[in-house]
């Protein structure tokens, strides 16, 4: 069938029942069942459900009024029963390197960000799973912004739909990869993230191996993801290979310490076909001591992890700096010598605050400042030697 969108005959299809469910948050089987039941009640033929499913997953319809092969009365009835709304673009920012950041306005007044990252052979979409984040990782602007609420599966899928449409309309091509590395901890919102994974994979056709879920180490979530039949990939925000230092950077380490976390990753790895990536933000004189390198290599080798070395991206109110280039090069060469696959992730979108760790949603700037005001973490002295491995400048301020 051809998808020739026509204007919605009725302008208010989405304002009749504010509490009606959103079809965007349903997996394909759930959507099929819900719409089929609706049409049965109305005495409509069963194939109507398939038509709606086609419009949502293949036609990317924004309104029921666009579903031109359905009778007008059925389009209106769908709008009275269900929602088909996406987050609204509050702002769009484009970096000099082609990275594009969307600020999405959600129902209830919250805002989140997503990022489109183009490379030579792919277009990666980084999406958010929570409005803000409660985990307060020291190197991440989202953590300083505080926690708003969990996103729904519809809001997560809506970011994908709206971003993919924007990319197509602006000549950026097709979204090929999706990473849950935006605002929030995805595995702390499994109720919405897991259905969203199914929606992206089974509904919109994004391959499971092209979808990566990031976590700072929520062990129950890692175990649950491992039980899924699809081979979704996992990225661990490691950032320090020893427990004491990691606990200072990532407070959740105290709840899920590294030895237990590695056991969970080993179990995940045994499932096969599910690549694990270690994300390692390199912060000058905090976690880039050469003495940490053998331990990092050891952990990566245990689970055949790929290591991304990420130069620290500046964030408000945290006076850290990225590691020096020679130190990053030394880490890369040391990992390669140990047989570990590694890459240095070049900063993308820094000029629009879209790089790793910078997402905070601009409306939250004042809350970030308030959060930092009570923090004991201050700027670090720059030292090239001395101190215990991994502890240079990592002590708390006076």
* Residue tagged active-site, from 113, 155, 279, 353: 113
Cα–Cα distance for residue pair 190/232, rounded to 1 Å: 14
Long-range CB contact pairs, 32-38, < 8 A, 24+ = 34/82, 35/78, 35/82, 38/77, 38/78, 38/81, 38/82
Pairing type for strands 177-180 and 276-282 reads unpaired
- Please indicate whether residue 137 is annotated as part of the active site: no
Is 356 catalytic? The answer is: yes
What region, left, alpha or beta, does residue 273 occupy, with left being phi > 0 and alpha being psi -120 to 50 degrees?
Answer: left
Distant-in-sequence, close-in-space partners of 12: CB < 8 Å, separation ≥ 6:
none
Say if CB 81 and CB 17 are below 8 A apart. yes
- The encoded tokens of residue 171 equal 């000549």
Residues 6+ apart with CB under 8 A from 109: none
- Kindly provide the residue ranges of all beta strands, DSSP E only, lying in 48-141, ordered along the sequence: 88-94, 100-105, 111-118, 123-126, 130-132
Q: Which residues pair with 101 in a beta bridge?
A: 93, 115
Query: What count of Cα atoms within 13 Å lies in the side-chain half-sphere of residue 337?
Result: 8
Q: Where does the chain show beta strands of DSSP type E?
A: 88-94, 100-105, 111-118, 123-126, 130-132, 147-150, 177-180, 211-215, 233-237, 276-282, 306-311, 342-344
As a whole number of angstroms, the distance between CA 19 and CA 81 comes to 9
Looking at 133, 137, 140, 356, which residue is catalytic?
A: 356
Rounded-to-integer distance, Cα 98 and Cα 13, Å: 36
157 token code pair: 């899928």
Relative to beta strand 177-180, strand 211-215 is parallel
Catalytically active residues are 113, 356
């Amino acid at each position: 069938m051809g998808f020739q969108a026509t204007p919605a005959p009725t302008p208010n299809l989405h304002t009749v029942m504010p509490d009606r469910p959103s079809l965007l948050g349903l997996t394909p089987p759930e959507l099929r069942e819900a719409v089929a039941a609706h049409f049965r009640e109305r005495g409509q033929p069963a194939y109507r459900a398939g038509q709606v499913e086609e419009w949502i997953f293949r036609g990317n319809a924004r309104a029921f009024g666009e579903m031109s092969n359905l009778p007008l009365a059925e389009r209106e009835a769908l709008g009275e029963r269900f929602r088909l709304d996406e987050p609204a673009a509050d702002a769009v920012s484009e970096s000099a390197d082609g990275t594009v950041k969307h600020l999405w306005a959600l129902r209830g007044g919250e805002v989140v960000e997503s990022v489109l990252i183009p490379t030579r052979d792919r277009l990666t979409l980084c999406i958010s799973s929570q409005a803000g984040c409660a985990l307060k990782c020291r190197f991440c602007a989202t953590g300083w912004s505080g926690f708003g609420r969990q996103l729904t599966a519809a809001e997560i899928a809506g970011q994908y739909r709206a971003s993919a449409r924007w990319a197509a309309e602006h000549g950026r091509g097709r979204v090929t990869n999706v990473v849950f590395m935006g605002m929030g901890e995805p595995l702390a919102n499994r109720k919405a993230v897991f259905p969203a994974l199914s929606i992206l994979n089974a509904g919109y056709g994004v391959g499971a191996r092209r979808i990566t879920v990031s976590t700072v180490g929520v062990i129950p979530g890692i175990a649950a993801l491992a039980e899924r039949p699809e081979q979704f990939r996992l990225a661990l925000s490691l950032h320090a290979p020893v427990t004491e230092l990691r606990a200072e950077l990532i407070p959740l380490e105290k709840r899920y310490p590294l030895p237990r976390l590695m056991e969970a990753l080993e179990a995940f790895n045994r499932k096969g076909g599910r690549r694990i990536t270690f994300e390692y933000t390199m912060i000058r004189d905090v976690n880039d001591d050469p003495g940490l390198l053998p331990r990092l290599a050891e952990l990566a080798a245990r689970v055949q992890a790929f290591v991304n070395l990420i130069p620290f991206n500046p964030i408000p109110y945290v006076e850290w700096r990225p590691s020096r280039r020679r130190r990053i090069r030394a880490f890369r060469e040391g990992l390669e010598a140990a047989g570990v696959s590694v890459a240095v992730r070049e900063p993308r979108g820094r000029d629009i605050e879209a790089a790793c760790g910078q997402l905070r949603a601009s409306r939250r700037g004042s809350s970030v400042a308030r959060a930092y005001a009570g923090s004991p973490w201050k700027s670090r002295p720059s030292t090239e030697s001395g101190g215990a491995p991994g502890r240079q400048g990592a002590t708390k301020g006076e």
